[in-house]
Structure 1
Amino acid sequence: MSLTALAAAAAAEAHQPIYWVNLGLKNYLFRIGSFELRWYSLAYLAGIMLGYWHLSRMIKSPGAPLAQRHADDLFFYCTIGIILGGRLGYATFYTGGDTGIPSLWADPAALLSLWHGGMSFHGGLIGVLLAMAWVSWRGELDFLRVADYIAVCVPFGMLFGRLANFVNGELWGRVVTDPGLPWAMVFPDAGPLPRHPSQLYEAALEGLLMIVIMLGLFWKTRARFRPGLLVGVFTTGIACARFTVEFFREPDAQLQDFAARTGLSMGQWLTIPLILLGLALITRALAKPALATVRPIT
């Protein structure tokens, strides 16, 4: 074989995509009979527990707007808000209408079948907001400052959730246009063409990057003394990250026609109001004087 042929063969081998099935991943930790403990469930649990632990640390620092009893209430109600809001948001935004999937609202049994998948980030966000509003109202707390503290903890769950999506081999990205992309991947049930592992892009941007930004702002600056600044940065950052990743993420099968007609995916349309809201919160927070340092609430 000539040197040219060897070089061509080596180049072709170097550009072979990664096959997800060869990674040896399973969507569950263990199985007992028909019961499976799935990584996706563990991701939700890990995100909530780590967020609760970190919130408990945050409220011990000067200027905390809530006490441990409020953190306990938030842990309980936000968990309910994430699950119910995520599921109802999926039923609202991603089924029914012209999606080609019967509306889950018309089938209560299917709506409650959480193990079949189908959760909406935006629905979960609404659920968390309602939970925070309830705890803030009942405890006579400043809602905006409570939102600041919760916003710092949310990226933990985003990181674990997107990693679980990757382990499940779901929510894969679009077909790559660069045949030499070294991390292009062929996913099961997605055809033979290599795709972007957009779940990892989301884990990096919505999760890891936002963790670094939010922890840095809270622990290294006085951002927590400007009500609305932390939640504004989080809202803007998470929405911009989602908007960007959607260019690499395959639209849900039932919404591909919608994306083709409108030029943007459903996820991108839903992030635009969040970007505007986040920028408004940042502007408002910076325009007002910072709060004075006070002792933690007990």
Structure 2
Amino acid sequence: MPPLFVLPFPAIDPIALEIGPLAIRWYALAYITGLVGGWWIARRLAAIDAYWNGLKRPSPEELDDLVVWVALGVVLGGRIGYVLFYNFAAYASRPWEALAIWHGGMSFHGGFLGAVLAIVLFARRRGFNPLSMLDLAAVVTPIGIFFGRIANFINGELWGRPAPDFPLAFVFPHGGPLPRHPSQLYEALAEGLILFLVLVISVRRFGFRRPGLIGGIFVLGYALARIVCEFFREPDAQLGFLFGASVDALRGGITMGMLLSIPMALVGLCAIVLALRGVTRPRAVAGQGAA
């Protein structure tokens, strides 16, 4: 029996702005908003003395440079991750198409690894503590995730599993006739807004005085949020469920997103434990007061 009320999918053009041959898509704007918003907040966090407790912190000009490094890491890592984790067979037969990023196909986990590598290389080159720089980046990363998932919803992609009895489900334009969970909005809320608030509270409590702590909270929090949201998200068509075959929202079905999030959760938990024990604190500040 169909639900009594199914929300109509909003007909929003994926192209936000078109000037002659130039088309600017919502997805591109999401990346730009995430980077610019993250840069703006990071500059203000870096200016608060109490959060750093003597640790070397980046100047506004250095943060300007870091944005470029992170942008390259996210784009390259996200694309490589998608090719390797989600559609390797197709790109193995047509490797030149891996360069066609304008056709879509990005992996968060790949973009995350690319951003981490870019930040670590930047930190070592400029003489910063890599863990502290990762902590700073972790606070602002959910901003990009939030807008990225909203853009996924606008594009009508990465929709949820069928939910015929859920009153707030949507019938997506390319998702078949069944109403589905708006899993993109669930991810925007859990991986974006809620995780951002958790990190802001953590920074106000601990600052960046325990290198690796804020980054660990982000990694663990994202992994747990992603695993939960994957129960409502339709797996990629070319992969399906890696284990199990249920389409019920809360039953069965292990997806690639879940599998990739498990090591993230373990790494995040280890980082939190080591940071709280003081293992990651530089010797120069190890004797100063605990937060």
Q: TM-score range by the shorter chain?
A: 0.7 to 0.9
CA contact (8 A) 1:105 1:111 kept: no
* Amino acid of the structure 2 residue aligned with 1:260: G
1:15 paired residue number: 4
CA contact (8 A) 1:251 1:259 kept: no
Scaled by the length of structure 1, the TM-score of the pair is 0.86
Aligned-residue CA RMSD (Å):
2.1
**Alpha-carbon deviation of 1:36?**
1.8
Is 1:213 aligned with 2:198? Answer: yes
What secondary structure sits across from 1:128 in the alignment? helix
2:155 paired residue number: 168
CA contact (8 A) 2:160 2:184 kept: yes
Change (3 A) 1:48 1:164: same
Is 1:82 aligned with 2:87? Answer: no
Q: Distance in 1 between matches of 2:30 and 2:92?
A: 24
1:72 paired residue number: 64
**Alpha-carbon deviation of 1:26?**
1.5
Moved over 4 A (4+): none
* Structure 2: unaligned runs, 5 residues or longer: 246-251
Report the more deviating stretch, 53-62 or 198-207. 53-62
* Amino acid of the structure 2 residue aligned with 1:19: P
Q: Distance in 2 between matches of 1:175 and 1:127?
A: 33
- CA offset digits 1:64-114 (Å, max 9, x no partner): 6322233122111000001111011101111124xxxx1268422x22222
2:224 paired residue number: 240
Report the more deviating stretch, 240-249 or 57-66. 57-66
2:249 paired residue number: none
Is 1:230 aligned with 2:220? Answer: no
What secondary structure sits across from 1:254 in the alignment? coil
**Alpha-carbon deviation of 1:135?**
0.6
Q: Which residue, out of 258, 273, 286, partners 1:268?
A: 258
* Structure 1: unaligned runs, 5 residues or longer: 1-10, 294-298
Is 1:60 aligned with 2:44? Answer: no
Is 1:107 aligned with 2:95? Answer: yes
What secondary structure sits across from 2:16 in the alignment? strand
| Percent of matched pairs sharing the same residue | 41
CA contact (8 A) 1:65 1:146 kept: no
* Amino acid of the structure 2 residue aligned with 1:39: W
CA contact (8 A) 2:149 2:184 kept: yes
Q: Which residue, out of 23, 34, 38, partners 2:25?
A: 38
**Alpha-carbon deviation of 1:156?**
0.4
Q: Distance in 2 between matches of 1:104 and 1:47?
A: 31
CA contact (8 A) 1:91 1:105 kept: no
**Alpha-carbon deviation of 1:258?**
2.9
Scaled by the length of structure 2, the TM-score of the pair is 0.88
Q: Distance in 1 between matches of 2:121 and 2:115?
A: 10
2:183 paired residue number: 198
- CA offset digits 1:137-168 (Å, max 9, x no partner): 11121111111111001000000000000011
Q: Distance in 1 between matches of 2:56 and 2:142?
A: 20
Q: Distance in 2 between matches of 1:28 and 1:265?
A: 30
